[in-house]
Amino acid sequence: MNKQLLPPKFLVIAGMILAAAALRLLPHYPNFTPVAAMALFGGAYFSNKKTAFIVPFIAMFLSDAIIGFHSTMWAVYLSFAIMVVIGFQLREKKKVSNIFAASVSSSVLFFVITNFAVWMSGTMYPLNAAGLFESYVAAIPFFGYTLVGDLFYVGIFFGAFEFAKTKLPVLAEVNA
């Protein structure tokens, strides 16, 4: 009996996530990155929930180790974890409308959480309602890049994998 250590589906999904993390190292518009796609994709396609968190988090951490860390990383990783959970909701419902809604929700979530963290750090904005409002208003241009980037990469990831499943039936297997 030939039992493979890692199934092909796992290798393809993990490879796509690691490749996405590597894309973060290339020059890009601010926030136009595959971060949400990595999290949503991992949550949607890894059958094991632990793996759905571990693989994207390792990929994210490795790219952050090169890019550099900052004081509000906790907010980025919290957003990322919630995106993986949103990806779980797509597992049995991978329709374009659901994937679109998950991507937009992830973009909004990232915007709200990370900009709240920037405001809470107290280094750029006063710690009052006006400062919080100012923090969100100043981040609006970045939100546009986040939203377009998320939609772009989520479309690429989900579309490419679903297309690959039609050409390589082994990718349609449940285990990953």
- Read off the pLDDT band of 173 (50, 70, 90): confident
pLDDT of 2 over the 70 cut: no
Q: What is residue 1's predicted lDDT score, i.e. its pLDDT?
A: 43
Q: What is the mean pLDDT of residues 114-131?
A: 95
Q: What is residue 172's predicted lDDT score, i.e. its pLDDT?
A: 83
Q: What is the mean pLDDT of residues 125-146?
A: 96
Q: What is residue 170's predicted lDDT score, i.e. its pLDDT?
A: 86
Q: What is the mean pLDDT of residues 6-28?
A: 90
pLDDT of 119 over the 70 cut: yes
pLDDT of 174 over the 80 cut: no
Q: What is residue 3's predicted lDDT score, i.e. its pLDDT?
A: 61
- Read off the pLDDT band of 5 (50, 70, 90): confident
pLDDT of 8 over the 70 cut: yes
CA dihedral defined by 29, 34, 37, 41, rounded to 10 degrees? 170
Q: What is the mean pLDDT of residues 89-113?
A: 96
Q: What is residue 7's predicted lDDT score, i.e. its pLDDT?
A: 87
pLDDT of 140 over the 90 cut: yes
How high does pLDDT run on average in the chain?
Answer: 93
Q: What's the token pair of residue 31? A: 């926030």
